[in-house]
Amino acid sequence: MKIGIICYPTFGGSGIVATELGLKLADRGHEIHFISYESPMRLNKFLNNIYFHEVEIPHYPLFEHNLYTLALAGKIIDVVKYEKLDIIHAHYAIPHAISGIISKNVLKDNNVKLVTTLHGTDITLVGLEPAFHPLIKYSLDNSDAVTAVSQYLRTNTEQHFNPEKKINVIYNFIDLDEYKRNPCSKIKESIAPNGEKILLHISNFRPVKRVQDTVRILAEVIKSVPAKLVLIGDGPERSDAEKLSRELGVSEHVRFLGKQHALVDLLSAADIFLLPSQSESFGLSALEAMSCGTPVVASNIGGIPEVVIHGEGGYVSEFGDVVRMAKYVVSLLTNDRKWQTFSDNARRIAEEKFDCKMIIPKYEKLYEKLMSE
Ligand code: GMT
């Protein structure tokens, strides 16, 4: 099949899922055309059947704001027509699905099908903007198929948008061969030279991630267990989190590493992964941690409980309840046998529910069904 993948190219979860999907589909023999304003961050290897098409945004003095939605639609039309795409797969409703619908309408005699995958904030945050609400509803009703990355996101979308079509849940996935525990004593020793336990968090440091809660959890944990907190990523909440770590007197135990690429090594060095988000449709970073055998302590909101099974591969609790989360962390860090059981369970859940070898064929089946209609 020839598949066009429309995504955000940066570190966000939707761009990562879209890129990994494209890479895996290419491995399975499909021809993949990524369309975005920049080459996707995770597109880091050459494959003969992967192409990237950059969307150029026209600049003209009259256009005070850029016309990305239209420029993207124009590029999709071009690629569908000349590369003879069978499927356009838009990741994130705004504006990708809208641009996909515009291009389909323009190419009305073409049989290309549009799949839209909802990732979370496109529905739970952006989708609630009154000006965007009818546009999202339009994009759901005019895509040939819509998928959501968790049961929670499907239910939430149905409640808020009452879509005409059934939404298919296709969970995010993980490459178990790539994300596996790979203990690197050098990393552990440099971060925790005195054998302290390591708590880790990865995100884009947006307010919904509640990064400051990771600092509050550390402040509680070190009352009973020597520990270090490693924060990976960057974004608007970073300086407030730094400030809080100074105010709580724990700054010497917190390392802000910024954006990093050696995630498997860092996740493998960690004893606990923290995800205290206020909103999370899935929690891809928690799955990456679990696949590396790192137990997760997270909030119980959104799709997280579908990934982090409470009492098996980690614990979940009310968002903001940092005392309870710290208690869960301490209970795992002070009982080696319990930690090992949770670590094994975390990996087993990743294998049983989220293996890419099981999830990618679900997308292929959906594409095939649409093409046969
Ligand atoms: O919030 C982010 O981390 C970015 C955002 C995105 O769209 O890029 O992530 C959403 O999609 C991810 C991949 O499907 C999910 O794992 C995240 O849970 C989801 N984020 C939220 O719902 C807040």
C-beta of 139 in contact with ligand 1 (< 6 A) = no
Exposed (0-12), middle (13-18) or buried (19+): which is 216, by Cβ within 10 Å? Answer: buried
Q: Residue for token digits 């939605």?
A: 69
C-alpha dihedral, 344 to 350 to 20 to 96, nearest 10°: -140
Which amino acid would we find at residue 164?
E
List of the chain residues with pLDDT < 50 = none
Distance CA 99, CA 107 (A): 12
Helix (H) or strand (E) holding 157: helix 151-161
Rounded distance from Cα 83 to ligand 1 centre (Å): 30
Distance CA 348, CA 292 (A): 10
Q: In order of start, what are the domains of the chain with their CATH numbers?
A: 2-173+356-372 (3.40.50.2000), 185-353 (3.40.50.2000)
C-beta of 284 in contact with ligand 1 (< 6 A) = yes
Rounded distance from Cα 252 to ligand 1 centre (Å): 30
Instruction: Please name which of 370, 304, 310, 318 lies closest in space to residue 13, comparing C-alpha atoms.
Output: 304
Which amino acid would we find at residue 1?
M
Distance CA 140, CA 134 (A): 10
Residue 95, both tokens: 């504006």
Instruction: Please name which of 273, 204, 208, 285 lies closest in space to residue 10, comparing C-alpha atoms.
Output: 204
CB distance 158 to 186 below 8 Å: no
CB distance 284 to 13 below 8 Å: yes
Rounded distance from Cα 57 to ligand 1 centre (Å): 26
C-beta of 19 in contact with ligand 1 (< 6 A) = no
C-beta of 17 in contact with ligand 1 (< 6 A) = yes
Instruction: Please name which of 281, 330, 328, 327 lies closest in space to residue 306, comparing C-alpha atoms.
Output: 281
Distance CA 232, CA 42 (A): 16
Mutate-to-test residue for ligand 1 from 119, 173, 299, highest number of ligand atoms within 8 A of CB: 119
b/e per residue 118-136 (b: at least 16 CB within 10 A): bbbbbbbebbeeeebeebb
Q: Could you tell me the sign of the dihedral formed by the alpha carbons of 70, 72, 78, 84, in that order? A: negative
**Integer distance in angstroms from the first to the last C-alpha of the chain?**
15
Distance CA 11, CA 45 (A): 17
